[in-house]
Structures are given as C-alpha cells and as structure tokens.
Homo-oligomer: A and B are copies of this chain.
Amino acid sequence: MHLTNDCRAVSDVLQRVGDKWTVLVVSKLGGGPLRFNELRNTIGGISQKMLTTTLRGLERDGFVTRTVFPTIPPRVDYELTDLGRELLVPVQALGDWALKNIDRVNASRERFDAERGP
C-alpha cells in the first residue's frame, strides 16, 4: 500500500469518528445493545434522520449490528460488533484526554478571542 493512501485511509476513519454524533452513539452502545428510541432518548438533541444516518454509516463500516424483530410494533436492536468494541478503546482514550484538558483548551480560546477584541 502507498503512504499517501495510508494517510487518506486514516483520515477517512478519523473523519467518521469526528462527525457530529458517531462518538456519542458508539459510547452509548458501549453499555450494551439498545433500541432505536432508547438511543434517541439517552442521547438527546439528535434528530431521527441523523440517528438513522449515523447508525447506517456505523453498520456499513462494521462497527454495529442491526437486528430487526418482525413484531408489531416493530423492534430494532443496535449493538457494537467486536470491531466496534475495539474502536471504543482508542476513542475513549481520546475522549478521556479531551475531558481532562477541555479547560486548558477553553482557556486558550478565551485568551485568543480576547486579544482579537472589538
């Protein structure tokens, strides 16, 4: 494989991780399988369209499984795959780092914005 392609591939995965809802969805699923509206409610603020889109992307990449129960009313469970649980490890590490250092980042932002004052 080529080095440049590697960079693109890595960027590709990182952008999936970086999109607006993926990390929240994956981390919620880290506690075990959830139904569509259970996810929707525990996350809060996400539209059904974006939850569907996010879950389809995660399913396509092999991070979650989608299980349909043909009952009435219908029921759909989402669960992390092994790959998804493996992904959770470095993602949580990054998340923990972000949580520990968010204050430093915010402080830097305020300083930066203050110097660019009106």
Contact = CB atoms under 8 A, between A and B. Distances in A.
Given A44-B4, A113-B60, A17 B20 contact: no
A10 B98 contact: yes
A109 B61 contact: yes
A8 to B, nearest CB: 9
Given A17-B14, A18-B15, A90-B94, A60 B102 contact: no
Interface residues of A, number: 44
A105 B112 CA distance: 39
A10 to B, nearest CB: 5
A14 to B, nearest CB: 5
Interface of A: 4, 6-7, 9-20, 23-24, 44, 59-62, 83, 86-87, 89-91, 93-99, 101-102, 104-105, 107-109, 112-113
